[in-house]
Structure 1
Amino acid sequence: MTITLFLISVIGAYLLGSIPTSVWYGIGYFGVDVRQYGSGNAGATNTFRVLGKRAGTIVMLIDVLKGWTATCLALLLYYFNTIDAGELLTYKIIFGIIAIAGHIFPVFVGFKGGKGVATLLGMVLAVHPELALLCITIFILTLLTSQYVSLSSILATLAFPVLSLLRVFGQPDTLLVVFGFVMFLLVVITHQKNIVRLFKGSESRVKLFGNSRSGN
């Protein structure tokens, strides 16, 4: 495989993930740095809290698109015959993880970004869209019943490898299962404070059809 094209793709995936959507959008359209308000997190959930539902939705969709686009860079390598079909999943996962790392540690804003859940969703949509949609359903149902964004994110992420092992969509790919559990571990690590608040009963809730508040 051409090393130069691979390196360009790696850098591209990281820079895509590093785009600080919430920060740039908040400052550009509202003159507000979301990191100075709410939870201080540079992610979609804090944007919902600080700037409202419309702004939060825009930020979330762009962050999802970041993950999807970065993951699909693997198709570029395949198009130029630098990898074969059997390697496509591997490189999708590599570029997706790099994009998530970029979102969590963005070069554009001092390597302090969001928690990567929306970017992870975009990655999963590119890797396995059917399973991703099922995980989205689990996220929505959990959020509707519990009103905890953090809990919904954790359970939806865990559902990915578990549903793979249950062969919901056929024989599971070992790499996909391992990737799923690694991503679950990453989400747990980035949500440590939320988990502590959940156990203490002090985690804030978010209302989909009212004023939004969350500790995520």
Structure 2
Amino acid sequence: MNFLYLILCILLGYLLGSIPFALVIGKVFYKTDIRQYGSGNLGGTNAGRVLGRNAGISVIACDILKVVLAMGLASLIDGSCSIWCGVACCIGHCYPIFAHFKGGKAVSTMFGFLVSLWFFTFHDISYALVPLGMFLIILFIFKYVSLASICASIASCMYISARVLSLALNPIFIVLASWIMMFLIIYRHRSNIQKIMNATENKISWL
């Protein structure tokens, strides 16, 4: 892994991740700064809650695609660099330089990371389907996006760790990246965890 390439890919990932599509879509198409409404979070869930289902889906799609774009470009340089580019993209989404470092909670970008692992690394759709299945099951049962997101990140981390280790693959950095992703999502949802415990967390209604 070339160190200069690694730095460039991390920078690319962070800058693309910092594009706040929830803010852009809200202001351009709805004349609304969603930071002033709902949870104030620059993510698909709050966009859907404040602006409606179409806006929420659009934000989610854009947030997924920005990670796929970042990792796709980085994979042209070095496959190892693309993994860290994806992690940097998720961090940029949470702490965007273009929105005063106050962004989303990395749920959509996590799925963008997993889709990219499917496309560019493992060529195996199960890396995206397993956490997506967990997300949908938990969301259907409890109606908490936050809880579904946390469970999906844990399922993803466990699945990647088990597959990589069982296949005796060398890129252990993929396992490390998946653990970083899981802890990032749990950390970003710490207030939601407290609300769930207090039975004050909002349930999804726009899906």
Indicate the TM-score class for this superposition, using the shorter chain for normalisation. 0.7 to 0.9
Q: Deviations over 1:168-198 (max 9, x none)?
A: 9962643333322221111111000000111
Q: Amino acid of the residue matched to residue 38 of structure 1?
A: G
Does the alignment pair 1:71 with 2:71? yes
1:165 positional shift: 4.2
Cα distance, 1:151–1:179 mapped onto 2, change above 3 Å:
same
Q: Which residue does the alignment assign to 1:148?
A: 144
Q: Identify the match of residue 198 of structure 1 among 188, 193, 196.
A: 196
Preserved contact between residue 165 and residue 172 of structure 1 (Cα < 8 Å): no
SS at match of 1:201: coil
Alignment gaps of 5+ in structure 2: 119-124
Q: Amino acid of the residue matched to residue 9 of structure 2?
A: S
SS at match of 2:77: helix
Scaled by the length of structure 2, what TM-score is found? Answer: 0.87
Equivalences, count:
198
Scaled by the length of structure 1, what TM-score is found? Answer: 0.84
Does the alignment pair 1:120 with 2:110? yes
Q: Which residue does the alignment assign to 2:183?
A: 185
Q: Which residue does the alignment assign to 1:214?
A: none
Tell me which moved more, 127-136 or 182-191. Answer: 127-136
Tell me which moved more, 129-138 or 38-47. Answer: 129-138
% identity of equivalent residues:
34
Q: Which residue does the alignment assign to 1:106?
A: 96
Q: Which residue does the alignment assign to 1:160?
A: 156
Q: Amino acid of the residue matched to residue 205 of structure 1?
A: K
Does the alignment pair 1:92 with 2:82? yes
SS at match of 1:203: coil
Cα distance, 1:179–1:62 mapped onto 2, change above 3 Å:
same
Alignment gaps of 5+ in structure 1: 79-87, 210-216
